Chains A and B, each alone.
Chain A
Amino acid sequence: MQTKRTIFHNRWLPYLLLAPQLAITVIFFLWPAAQAVRQSFLREDAFGLKTEFVGLGNYLRLFSDPSYLNAFQVTAVFAVSVAALSMGLALLLAVAVDRVLRANQSYTTLLVWPYAVAPAVAGVLWWFLFNPTIGILPYALEQLGYDWNHNLDGTDAMILVVIAASWKQISYNFLFFVAGLQAIPQSLREAAAIDGAGPVERFFTVVFPLLSPTTFFLLVINVTYTMFETFAVIDAATEGGPSQATNILVYKVYRDGFVSLNLGSSAAQSVILMFIVIALTFVQFRWIERRVQY
């Protein structure tokens, strides 16, 4: 990419121009992060009357806490399920659009709408649809002989939040997949057709391998999304229950810190999450920004 280079003659002007951005970063990101790191080494009582330095105590307790390890496991299941479901469906839709309606704008626009829905609204929407008492889907499932109740059944609850979180993300993935598919030269598919590959074979041997940069990019984005941005979906649909079945890491940070007022533990958990984000960001810069180009 070509970068525009500007030369400033005034020594302070560049700093002045950068100041608003830097101020926002410092006040809203660096400062709270530093606070979290500091807090994670302290133990405080619920009323904030007594503070005690405990070193790595909060961290050590976390890793011997079964409910925290459970949250890790729940998060992994949740992240993998959402990524698989939302990317799989998005790819399916993108291929359909690419095959039938090359660059049909209106259809594409319609599919993008869910992305504009707030996560909390998405959570409530699916909560209603799946509500065991008034929802339409449990009624339909009951006709098929399945007794749906995400308030009691952990698996049902997980399925509910996975669907709610995926639904929102499909449109985003879809856009990237469509763009990726349109970037594959038509002549490659034609060459493969002449080379005797059927539509399915063509997809798996030519199209999908060429989509791999897009797929990898989306995988990282989706994992990041499910780990952090699905807080509202969980909060609106299940509140982490039943019995911790949908209590993902980021939701546990909130519960332990702001509901149970165990600030030290909550801070330690956010520091761990911070390291996960840093790792994901590193992966993204290291492999994706240096995009695979053919």
Chain B
Amino acid sequence: MIADDITSAIVNALTSVAPEVDPMSIRPGVSFRDQLDLDSMDFLNFVLALHDRLGIDIPERDYPKLYTFDGALAYLASKVTGNHL
């Protein structure tokens, strides 16, 4: 359930900065920047959207953990539940 919520939050955050993205086409292990052509402002907005949706604080030093879908899922799950999925 938590994984579904986080997946949904990631997809919503991504499509808020890159509306043309088809969620089904996202490759989980590939950098968002590379596959979706996000720049630093897009990535910042993506992280802020996750912050708004999940209510968690994400230190800047942890941003690299959010570079891929798999990485973001694992990181956010650990922040939400205190444990990795």
A and B physically associate: no
**B positions within 8 Å CB-CB of A:** none
Seen from chain A, the residues whose Cβ lies within 8 Å of a Cβ on chain B are none
